[in-house]
């Protein structure tokens, strides 16, 4: 186990689950739900291949962390913008996130 004990791995897993729960009940819970509601076809329509899926995963990570940390809308928007045009296009598929880019 590369020097990690089972207890260390269990603790790490519990911490990941705690952070995930905080994101889902945090400030951007609705936005997370809207993004999770996107179908694979909707995401693939943006850019064929897997690039959009990778960006979608990065976007989800940023929104979850913003929710968990209670970041402002301006901070979340700025973080989404750093991911580029594909992330912004995906974010606009969420009615709530789309308002950030009007």
The model's pLDDT over 18-71, given as tens digits with 9 standing for 90+, comes to 888 888 888 999 999 999 999 988 888 887 778 888 999 999 999 999 999 999
In angstroms, the CA 18 to CA 95 distance is 27
DSSP per-residue string spanning 5-28: -HHHHHHHHHHHHHHHHHHHTSTT
pLDDT digit string, tens, across residues 69-81: 999 999 999 999 9
pTM of the predicted protein model: 0.82
């Amino acid at each position: 186990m590369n020097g990690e004990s089972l207890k260390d791995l269990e603790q790490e897993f519990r911490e990941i689950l705690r952070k995930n729960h905080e994101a889902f009940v945090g400030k951007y819970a609705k936005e997370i739900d809207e993004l999770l509601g996107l179908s694979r076809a909707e995401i693939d329509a943006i850019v064929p291949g897997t690039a959009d899926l990778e960006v979608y995963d990065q976007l989800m990570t940023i929104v979850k962390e913003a929710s968990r940390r209670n970041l402002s809308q301006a901070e979340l928007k700025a973080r989404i913008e750093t991911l580029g045009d594909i992330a912004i296009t995906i974010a606009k598929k969420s009615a709530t996130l789309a308002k950030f880019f009007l």
